[in-house]
Structure 1
Amino acid sequence: MSSSLRLEKITADNVEAACRLKVRPDQDGLVKPVAWSLAQAYATPDTAWPRLILDGEQLVGFVMAFFDVRFYPDDPNDNRLRSGLWRLNIAADQQGRGYGRFAVEAVCEEIRRRGQTRATVSWVPGEHGPEQFYFKLGFRLTGETSGDQVVGELELGEA
């Protein structure tokens, strides 16, 4: 993994490249395309934190985080505010090189910077899904679900 990794805001200059980013075909039903995520980010600008993952000048992935959101807004008994990963798309030919780990760690650092001590993520379980990836990073299942996805959390420690 390169030392020139960074997250970059989506701009008019890079949005087309972002929308062309594709995951492996066997992952298509497991994560929404970047264009879908950017539409959600546009519709929820106070919640969404979309970023490109760059290695030098090469686009290798996309990550979108959320901060201080009620995960289950329709549940009057659940007032917990959560922060975490909303989307993670690593380009098909760039997977397995540490870019996903970098993105998750960068999001966790941003969560800590904002004063939170826990990161949340949800994913579609399945053969080609990211479950083992998140487990290797320390996420544990909460026993909750969000639609057709399972929910995991990672304790970050003190902010």
Structure 2
Amino acid sequence: MPPSLHLREITPDNFENAVALRVRPDQEHLVAPVVKSLAEAYVHPGTAWPRLICDGDEAVGFLMAFFDIDRTGGGTDFRSGLWRLNIADGQQGRGLGRFAVRSVADEIRRRGGTRLTTTWHPGPDGPAGFYRALGFRPTGETSGDQTVGVLELS
């Protein structure tokens, strides 16, 4: 993992770089484009946490986390986790996804959380192997057509 990796807030100065990020063409059906994520962040300002993944000054990915969503609306099942992860075409295999998950886990811990939740598309072309290798386990739930997974944070 490159030592120059860091997260950067989305600002007017880097907005164009953010929305220009594209995953590999064969992965486009697995994750929403960054522009959709930023629109969702705009309508969920207290929940969404969008960030560019940068290697030095270069934007190489995008993540969006969420914090303390009341899943059932009853005030008893609050979740935090990774909402979106887009690694730019040509940038995979460099540890950027692991860096992104670790960064979200660190932020959840900083906020007092102990679990990181995410979803992924099932199937042979989906990222299940990536998430399982990081320690996520399926919860048995689905969100739409996606598998819900959880990583216990220690």
TM-score range, shorter chain: over 0.9
Match of 1:96 in 2: 93
Matches within 5 A, 1:30-45: 30-45=30-45
Match of 1:21 in 2: 21
Consecutive unaligned residues of structure 1, counting only runs of 5 or more, are none
Which of the residues 143, 148, 158 maps onto 2:145?
148
Match of 1:108 in 2: 105
Consecutive unaligned residues of structure 2, counting only runs of 5 or more, are none
- How far apart in 2 are the matches of 1:103 and 1:39? 20
Task: After TM superposition, give the deviation of residue 130 of structure 1 in Å.
Answer: 1.0
The one-character-per-residue Cα deviations of 1:15-47 (angstroms, maximum 9, x if unpaired) are 111101000111111100000000000010000
Match of 1:124 in 2: 121
Task: After TM superposition, give the deviation of residue 71 of structure 1 in Å.
Answer: 2.6
> What is the aligned residue count?
154
Matched, 1:53 2:53: yes
- How far apart in 2 are the matches of 1:71 and 1:9? 26
Partner-residue secondary structure (3-state), 1:132: helix
After superposing on structure 2, the runs of 4+ consecutive aligned residues of structure 1 that deviate more than 3 Å are: none
The one-character-per-residue Cα deviations of 1:71-130 (angstroms, maximum 9, x if unpaired) are 344xx5x83100000000000100111001001000000000000100000011122211
Please give the TM-score of this superposition, normalised by the length of structure 2: 0.97
Identity of aligned residues (%): 63
Cα RMSD, aligned residues only: 1.1
Please give the TM-score of this superposition, normalised by the length of structure 1: 0.94
Partner-residue secondary structure (3-state), 2:64: strand
The amino acid across from 2:24 in the alignment is: R
